[in-house]
């Protein structure tokens, strides 16, 4: 099935505390529970790559799939992602955050994968 994948690469504000970030991540990870149109949810803190001289350019990533533009519209209008966005403005550095949408061939699953603790 052809789906739209939404990918967000996030950096935290310089003054954001670990506690504030963790609270926002917990709230963000509730999106697939609150929004039935969201499939294939993944979220994670960045991990070091094989080249230590080239660290990750972002601190956190969220990925989700939607089955259609109609579902994208429903997602944008749903109040919960709006709350997550508003709360995120306290800790997210928008000038250093990026997002994109891509078309993917995949099956929609309600299973979600998330890393809620930093690793390494």
Model pLDDT, residue 48:
77
User: What 3 state SS string does the chain have?
Assistant: CEEEEEEEEECECCCCCHHHHHHHHHHHCCHHHHCCCCEEEEEEECCCCCCCCCCCCCCEEEEEEECCHHHHHHHHHCHHHHHHHHHHCCCECHHHCEEEEEEEECCCCCCEEECCCCCC
CA dist 47 to 29, 44, 61, 65, 108, Å? 18, 9, 11, 22, 26
d(CA 76, CA 44): 22
Residue 80 Cα to chain centre, angstroms: 14
CATH class of 2-48+56-106: alpha beta
* pLDDT tens track for 77-104: 999 999 999 999 999 999 999 999 999 9
Model pLDDT, residue 117:
56
Q: Does position 72 have pLDDT exceeding 90, yes or no?
A: yes
Domain boundaries along the sequence of the chain: 2-48+56-106
pLDDT band at 49 (very low <50, low <70, confident <90, very high): confident
């Amino acid at each position: 099935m052809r789906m739209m994948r939404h990918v967000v690469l996030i950096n935290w504000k310089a003054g954001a505390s670990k506690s504030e970030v963790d609270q926002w991540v917990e709230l963000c990870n509730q999106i697939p529970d609150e929004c039935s149109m969201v499939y294939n949810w993944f979220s994670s803190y960045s991990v070091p790559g094989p080249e230590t001289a080239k660290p990750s350019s972002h601190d956190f990533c969220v990925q989700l799939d939607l089955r259609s533009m109609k579902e994208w519209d429903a997602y944008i209008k749903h109040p919960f992602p709006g709350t997550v966005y508003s709360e995120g403005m306290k800790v997210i550095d928008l000038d250093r955050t990026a997002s994109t949408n891509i078309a993917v061939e995949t099956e929609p699953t309600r299973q979600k994968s998330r890393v809620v603790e930093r690793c390494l």
